[in-house]
Amino acid sequence: MKHILVVLEQSGAGLKRSSYEVITAARSIASGAPITGIAINATPEQIQAAAEYGLASCLSASSTDVAHAIAEAATKVGADVVLASATTAGKNIAPRVAVKLQAGLLADCVELTAQGDAVRPIYAGKARITVRPTTPIAVYTLRPNVFTARKDAVGTVAIESFSPTVSNRRTVTVTSVIKNEGVLDVAEADMIVSGGRGLKGPENFHLVEELAKSLGAAVGASRAVVDAGWRPHSQQVGQTGKTVSPNLYVACGISGAVQHLAGMSSSKVIVAINKDKDAPIFTVSDYGLVGDVFTILPKLTARISAVTGK
């Protein structure tokens, strides 16, 4: 391995948690190879947040063609490995970067080795395969919330301004961004309260929302709920939704299909509420409440609100 290029995505005053995970993954396989970050349209303050996770150097570029800029940055530093998170942006950009570099693409990886091998799930998470690139350069996307971000502070990130050549491709310019203020992203949240088919209808999802509000948590949902149109896909937790690893995951009326468990079983503490004592969700939960969500959730919310004041 000659050089690793890490793609950084910014969020707020710093970077997305998934970017810190990618930095950690790069450090774990580097074996002495240099690691360089690439940040597109980020502020110096956002980039410096990576110092706490061990990133020592980063290229900073301003470009409307992100894939072109990343590919050119990889060529500039002589990278033979490009790591990005399998976020919505990462899934969109990584294939285009791979084409530009004539590189192999290994997507949605859950394990990496210093030899370049990667492990990725197949058959909706029921099996895993080990894959190896056959090209001199390889692009990997890493499943968010699988590689735990670990701090290894350096003094500061050495930021180098980088000006990619202008691409002759047509580009789209974003003229405005409308944020859904106050709604936490389940992929970034430290606490999540998810609801399932046990809530019986979308009109009852306010019980999940109220518990989430009392905790300061994000609202999640099972695939069955999203497929039924009760909640947006952005809240779906599971194999075909988002993989999460919060400090607290509360599953309300979710039976625990294998696809859902694959997306949340790495949560630090799992609390399950279900009237079926044999529900699969209890096999992964740290705390289980067997009972009716319509009885338990209002009481739990009231008790927590009394403590948190929310």
> Does residue 166 register a pLDDT over 90?
no
Encode pLDDT of 86-136 as tens digits: 998 999 999 999 999 999 999 999 999 888 899 998 876 778 899 999 999
Q: Which residue has the higher pLDDT, 180 or 309?
A: 309
| Residues spanned by the domain of 204 | 191-308
Same domain as 244, residue 158: no
Does a structural domain hold residue 177?
no
Residue 41 lies in a domain: yes
pLDDT of 84 over the 70 cut: yes
Nearest Cα to Cα of residue 77 among 55, 106, 57: 57
Residue 171 has pLDDT above 80, yes or no: no
The reply to whether 133 and 230 lie within a common domain is no
Terminal-residue alpha carbon distance, the chain: 50
Categorise residue 115: left if φ over 0, alpha if ψ from -120 to 50, beta otherwise: alpha
Residue 178 lies in a domain: no
* CB of 64 closer than 8 Å to CB of 171: yes
Higher pLDDT pick, 170 / 67: 67
pLDDT value of position 123? 78
> Above 80 in pLDDT, residue 8?
yes
Q: What is the CATH number of the domain that holds 127?
A: 3.40.50.620
Does residue 51 sit within a domain? yes
In a domain, 293, yes or no: yes
Instruction: Answer whether 0.85 is exceeded by the pTM.
Output: no
Would 170 be classed as within a structural domain?
A: no
Reported as a single tens digit per residue, the pLDDT across 178-225 is 665 567 889 889 999 999 999 999 999 999 999 999 999 999 999 999
Digit-coded pLDDT (tens) for 40-66 = 999 999 999 999 999 999 999 998 889
Name the token pair of 15: 């970077």
pLDDT of residue 170: 62
CA angle 2, 74, 88 (to 5 degrees): 115
Strands of the chain, DSSP E: 4-8, 10-11, 14-15, 35-40, 57-61, 81-85, 104-109, 111-112, 118-122, 127-131, 138-142, 158-162, 191-195, 218-221, 248-252, 269-274, 287-290
User: Is residue 24 located within the same domain as residue 144?
Assistant: yes
Average pLDDT over residues 281-292: 95
Q: What is the pLDDT of residue 13?
A: 82
In a domain, 62, yes or no: yes
Number of domains in the chain: 2
- Whether 195 and 61 share a structural domain: no
Confidence of residue 153 (pLDDT cuts 50, 70, 90): confident
CB 198 within 8 A of CB 252: yes
At residue 70, what are phi and psi to the nearest 5 degrees?
-65, -45
Gap between the Cα atoms of 283 and 288, Å rounded? 9
Give the pLDDT confidence score for residue 226 in this predicted structure: 94
Examine the domain organization and report whether 156 and 241 are in the same domain: no
In the chain, the percentage of residues whose pLDDT exceeds 70 is: 95
Check residue 284 and give its pLDDT: 93
Is 183 part of any domain? no
